[in-house]
Amino acid sequence: MADQFGLTEAVSIALGGMIGGGIYAVLGVVAGVAMYATWFGFVAAGVVALCAGYSYNELNAAGDQRGGSVSFVQEFVGNSTLAGMVGWSLLFGYVGSMAMYAFAFAEFVIGFSAVPDGYAGVPLRPAISVLAVALFVVLNVAGARVTGSAENVLVAVKVGVLLAFGVWGLVYLGPVSGQSVQFGFGRLTGITPVVAAGVSFVAFQGWQLLFYDQGSIENPTETIRKAVYVSIPAAVAIYVLVAVVTTNLAPDAIQQHPHVALADAASAMLGYFGLAPLGFLVISVSALFSTGSAINATLFSAGHFAKNLIAGDLLPDQIGDGDADGVPERTLLVLGVVTAAFTAVGSLGAITSFASLAFIVVFGAVSVLAFRRRDRDDISPVPPAVGALGAFAFAPVMLWNLSQREPHTFWMVLVVAVLVVAVELLYFERGELEDRVPGVDADEDHL
């Protein structure tokens, strides 16, 4: 393997970051909102993500620093507080993503008939999710990582399973079973599609991880540009295919136990050959592998991202050593503990909504920044405008829908979001607070 990644590896990393665990964790939640129109939610979210990807690419080419959203804000806005808040929002988005993957991982584990839902009256789902997070924290502390050609193979297997599922599903729905395929066009009015797009947005965040490790990529500006424009449409196509098949083959499963609806759909289509248990097994094992690898990859990337924030004084030194070789163990442990807490006490809807909200805000902000520089850096105004308007339309509609459908989830997401912003402001404005509050010394107390 070469010292640096090429386009194939970059596409694999971006695509693997999106479909690695996203479709297994998000599909049931989105289908609960839009049912047969779930596919449209993925299309709308993908369009906004692609426009945000354009903004990232153009700012990356225009700037002197090689980094992601935090670097863009630092270089083009010059506001360290805003840059830090963007960084924290992304970090919490990664934590939410890992919690979402761990939740889905546990749901597929207890989906096996041999595994009980609980023991002695205690539900096992939270315990399995926490154990999954703990396992991958230990692996990352030990230095385990999959890269390069191995990543290509792993992504190819995951994509292959989902494509086989989708293609055979369409064949089964049409010529084999004679069942008419529903696309939910009647649900494409009102706010339902916007809500579905907002909830699914977290499934399109993996591509921007490429911007944080450009030193490992050959000709990074152009390679990343191509990888973004290949991986996002490919992810949209896979999501749409899987969504159409699953909502048509397993509508009852989506209503009763949406988290494992893919496995029920696979069981239904292979039941034609008398192999229903095999279909359930293949999808469930694929889901376990995909969500597990997604936890591992996201933890690795989030750890490096947090280390860079620490080195830039955008995170407290207590979280880790910004000058350490690799990711500091303390940083991995902190990320693991927060993720475990999220996945243990939160619902999948709340976790997914919170993570999506974090990425919506950051991607929207980067799109606004690119739009502001449209004349200075010869940036087309259309994609950034679509990215910004789309992202900022998703957030309020998604929150309103939660308040109507799941008020408990709405308040959980809102409280966590307010707490995060409050802590961010306290940390980044601590210097001003010291000037106003006698006896407070930032050198002694960094929160």
What is the model's pLDDT at position 144? 59
The per-residue pLDDT for range 8-65, each reduced to its tens digit, is: 888 888 888 788 667 888 888 888 888 999 999 999 999 999 999 999 999 998 877 7
Residue 80: how many other CB atoms lie within 10 Å: 15
Assigned token pair, 213? 């490790």
pLDDT above 80 (res 95): yes
Query: Cα–Cα distance between 236 and 19 in angstroms, integer?
Result: 9
Phi and psi at 3, nearest 5°, equal: -65, -30
Residue 123, beta-bridge partner list: 118
Please, which pLDDT band fits residue 335 given cuts at 50, 70 and 90?
Answer: very high
Cα 172 to Cα 447: distance, rounded to the nearest angstrom? 58
Q: In the predicted model, is pLDDT for residue 262 greater than 90?
A: no
The residue length of the chain stands at: 447
What was the pLDDT predicted at 210?
85
**Rounded mean pLDDT, 52-81:** 86
Please tell me which residue, 136 or 147, carries the higher pLDDT value: 136
pLDDT band at 416 (very low <50, low <70, confident <90, very high): confident
| DSSP per-residue letters across 98-147 | HHHHHHHHHHHHHTSTTS-SEETTEESHHHHHHHHHHHHHHHHHHT----
**Side chain identity, residue 397:** V
Distances (CA, A) of 34 to 42, 149, 323: 11, 38, 47
Per-residue pLDDT at 444 exceeds 50? no
Provide the pLDDT confidence category of residue 145 given band limits of 50, 70 and 90. Answer: low
Q: Is pLDDT at 215 greater than 90 in this prediction?
A: no
Average pLDDT over residues 350-366: 88
The pLDDT of residue 42: 95
pLDDT band at 148 (very low <50, low <70, confident <90, very high): low
Q: Which residues contact 150 (CB under 8 A, 6 or more apart)?
A: none
Q: What pLDDT score does 365 carry?
A: 92
Mean pLDDT of all residues belonging to the chain: 84
Percentage, residues of the chain above pLDDT 70: 92
Say how far apart CA 143 and CA 35 lie, in whole Å.
41
